Chain A
Amino acid sequence: MNLRPRLIAALAIFVGMALVPPVAAALGDPFLTVIASRMLVFAIAALSLDLILGYGAMVSFGHAAYVGVGAYAVAIGARFGVTDLLAQMALGALMSAAFALVTGAISLRTRGVYFIMITLAFAQMAFFFFVSQSSLGGDDGVALTARSTLLSTDVLESDIAFFYTILAVLVLCYGGLYRLTNARFGRVLTGTRENPLRMQAIGYRPFPYQLTAYVIAACIASVAGVLLANQTEYVSPAYMAWSRSGELIVMLVLGGIGTLTGAMAGALITVGLEHTFAAWSEHWRLGFGLLLVLVVLFSPDGITGLLKRLGVGPRHD
């Protein structure tokens, strides 16, 4: 399988997104950059979910919890004077890793739909935990007074600088996951997805690999959460609601699972469509729902599959 076309597609996404701020300025609509920031944040979250769901076949229905934990790392950090973006990312990743290590180890005892539901259960627990923390605003969440600092500067207050920061993080995450999935680690993971028995027969115990992937995915999701909190300048338990986990899965399936490029494309398309539909009508959910059903019924591999069949998408076989 030749992977180069996918790399090119990913590169096209990065370059295309990098052009958004100048284009927005030229169109006199700087708000496009803000929408694009949100797309990129969700692209990072979708990438992380793809590692476990696409490559590891672990369908987590609670991935938004880690996004939420990252967001709360910003609120908690700011409260204790930790305002640096990188420090907050480290804090978020640490909190997520701890949570993922414990819940992942328990969840991986189960398979299939039971895995889906147990990950949901843990996410709901995290949700209700933060709902009950009145010092962090409880159900309401807390507004952030300012964005995080970057290396002691407040450069992130500029929407454009913030946009390119998110883009840089996305490129780094993509690069890291690309190497990871093409290394032995990734092959064990996909091998387990295809045939767990065979992997065991050739001497691999899948559990440590799966758990590691689960923890890595959680850390990356929390990085997305740190950025999401900064993007909205608001932290709320709503970030970890089950419907948000569902939306992440929708992004993946829409883009086509098991390819990093597809995950990113799915996130960009979903957030973009939500925005477009919402601008049209108050009843946009009707149209969006219809689109989801039609995509599944008529295009089994998501939008990338559709593009492929139309002959415009990345061809990799």
Chain B
Amino acid sequence: MFNLFVLQLLNGAQFGILLFLVAAGLTLVFGIMDFINLAHGVLYMVGAYLMAMLSALTGSFWGGLLLALPATLVFGLVLEFLVFRRLYDRSHLDQVLATFGLVMILSEGVKIIWGAAPLSVSMPDVLSGSIPLLGPLRYPVYRLAVIAAGLASAVGLWALINHTRAGMLLRAGASNRAMVSALGVDISRLFMLVFAFGAMLAGFAGAIVAPILSVDPGMGESILILTFVVIVIGGVGSIRGAFLAALLVGVVDTVGRTFGPILLRMVMEPAAAAQLGRTLAPMLVYLLMAAVLFYSPTGLFGRKAAR
């Protein structure tokens, strides 16, 4: 039982890390530009598709990854130039409507270009296989690599925000946009960079998840809502909050799914426990969010003056 728990903790952490990579870009865009981007999940999907295409073209995982990153960055820049920069000053509802439209366009576009059948990306040999871990249990090397890559990105992001000039402007922009603009900083260029960078992080998440999950046109939608849950629990605009919330959501979801029914079985008969477990498991994350917002209406690390 303990072994299983450790394994599920690892699984939860891996899922959380992935959520963090997607959420980091979204929380920045949200916090700094006050922009609701429903199309962020689609960027994750585009990353995965570009990875599938480019790794097939180059014939190697690493080649694909190396090309997919700048490709998603460019894709983000193009989207920003065509659509998003016209929406910064608009109401949240206009942003919701336009990005909802973008979700439809991109999901359908991906289907037209690559077809509806799931695609796959093969794993590099170095990272395939699994390593022994606690008795008979094994853990896939690739998932460990995902955790490592995610943690490295988180540290990099932390350093970027806290120890560089661009990061300083970001932090300033997040707390007082008008002031930064008044100090002569080119705010529109800053926005463009933040947006493209966020797109690249989401694309990176999509690219590294491609060998584990199938690449299909529905993958952006399924992660979008969870990403929103993460940034709201963490507090909009807070990278630190997003990181903790992502891990929390990943672990609660994964561990709850396995151990919820086991715990319930201790207090009620098995059939009823199984039924209740099936009811509660998918709700856990949302219960968590409602509870957090009940006690702290702006999330764990949200600014009290948040809009």
A257 to B298, CA, bound (A): 26
Contact A296 B98 (CB under 8 A): yes
A40 to B94, CA, bound (A): 24
In the complex where A110-B297, A120-B225 touch, is A285 in contact with B108 (Cβ < 8 A)?
yes
Contact A117 B297 (CB under 8 A): no
A299 to B297, CA, bound (A): 34
A120 to B224, CA, bound (A): 12
Contacting A291 at CB < 8 Å: which of B101, B103, B283, B298? B101
Question: B17-57 CB contact bits vs A (8 Å, 1 = yes)?
Answer: 00000000000001000001010000000000000000000
Contact B289 A118 (CB under 8 A): yes
Closest Cβ of chain A: how far from B251's Cβ, in Å? Answer: 18
Q: How many residues of B contact A (CB 8 A)?
A: 48
Contact A106 B290 (CB under 8 A): yes
Write out the residue numbers on chain A whose beta carbons fall within 8 Å of the beta carbon of B112: 283, 286
A164 to B262, CA, bound (A): 53
Contacting B289 at CB < 8 Å: which of A109, A117, A242, A286? A117
Question: A258-283 CB contact bits vs B (8 Å, 1 = yes)?
Answer: 00000000000000000000000001
Write out the residue numbers on chain B whose beta carbons fall within 8 Å of the beta carbon of A243: 221
Most chain B beta-carbon contacts within 10 A, residue among A125, A250, A289, A297: A289
Number of A-B contacts defined by CB within 8 Å = 140
Main secondary structure, interface of A, reads helix
Closest Cβ of chain A: how far from B83's Cβ, in Å? Answer: 6
Write out the residue numbers on chain A whose beta carbons fall within 8 Å of the beta carbon of B97: 249-250, 253-254, 292, 295-296
Q: How many residues of A contact B (CB 8 A)?
A: 44
Contacting B283 at CB < 8 Å: which of A59, A125, A250? A125
B137 within 8 A of A: no
A131 to B280, CA, bound (A): 11
Write out the residue numbers on chain B whose beta carbons fall within 8 Å of the beta carbon of A295: 97
B9 within 8 A of A: no
Contact B290 A286 (CB under 8 A): no
Most chain B beta-carbon contacts within 10 A, residue among A53, A122, A252, A296: A296
Write out the residue numbers on chain A whose beta carbons fall within 8 Å of the beta carbon of B104: 285-286, 288-289, 292
**Besides A113-B232, A128-B279, 16 new A-B residue pairs in contact (Cβ under 8 A), listed by A number:** A113-B36, A113-B307, A118-B232, A122-B290, A124-B286, A125-B290, A246-B38, A253-B94, A253-B96, A253-B97, A289-B103, A289-B106, A291-B101, A293-B101, A293-B105, A296-B101
Residues of A within 8 A of B (CB): 53, 59, 106, 109-114, 116-118, 120-122, 124-125, 128-129, 131-132, 134, 242-243, 246, 249-250, 252-254, 257, 283, 285-286, 288-293, 295-297, 300
3 cross-chain pairs, A with B, having the tightest CB-CB distances, nearest first: A292-B101, A289-B104, A289-B105
